[in-house]
Amino acid sequence: MQKSVVQVTLTSIATLVVLVILVGLAGMLPVHNAYLSQILDFVNNYILVIIFFTLFFFVGEILYAFGLPFNVLGVIFYAYGAYFITFFIFKVFYLIESFIDVAIFSSFGYLEQLFCIAIFLVVLVVGISRIFSKKEDAEKSEDVEWKDIWGEFKGGMNNISKKFREKTEVKKVNDGKKKKK
What gap in Å lies between CA 171 and CA 10, rounded to an integer?
68
pLDDT in tens, 29-47: 787 888 888 888 888 888 8
Q: Which pLDDT belongs to residue 1?
A: 47
**For the residues 23-29, what does the mean pLDDT come to?**
82
pLDDT in tens, 137-153: 555 555 555 566 666 66
To the question of pTM greater than 0.85 for the whole model, the response is no
69-99 b/e with 16+ CB inside 10 Å = b? eebeebbbbbbbbbbbbbbbebbebbbeeee
* Nearest by Cα to 68 from 140, 157, 135, 5: 135
Domain assignments of the chain as residue spans, ordered by start: 5-140
Ranges 86-90, 99-103, 165-169: which has the least confidence: 165-169
What gap in Å lies between CA 179 and CA 67, rounded to an integer?
64
* Nearest by Cα to 131 from 76, 57, 54, 49: 76
* Nearest by Cα to 51 from 96, 93, 12: 12
What gap in Å lies between CA 153 and CA 129, rounded to an integer?
33
Mean pLDDT of the chain: 79
Q: How much of the chain, in percent, has pLDDT values that exceed 70?
A: 76
**For the residues 51-64, what does the mean pLDDT come to?**
85
Q: What angle do CA 154, 159, 161 make, to 5 degrees?
A: 95
Give the CA distances from residue 170 to residues 15, 159, 160, 167, 173, in Å, rounded to whole numbers and listed in that order.
66, 19, 18, 9, 10
pLDDT in tens, 96-121: 888 888 788 888 878 889 999 999 99
**For the residues 155-181, what does the mean pLDDT come to?**
64
What gap in Å lies between CA 58 and CA 69, rounded to an integer?
17
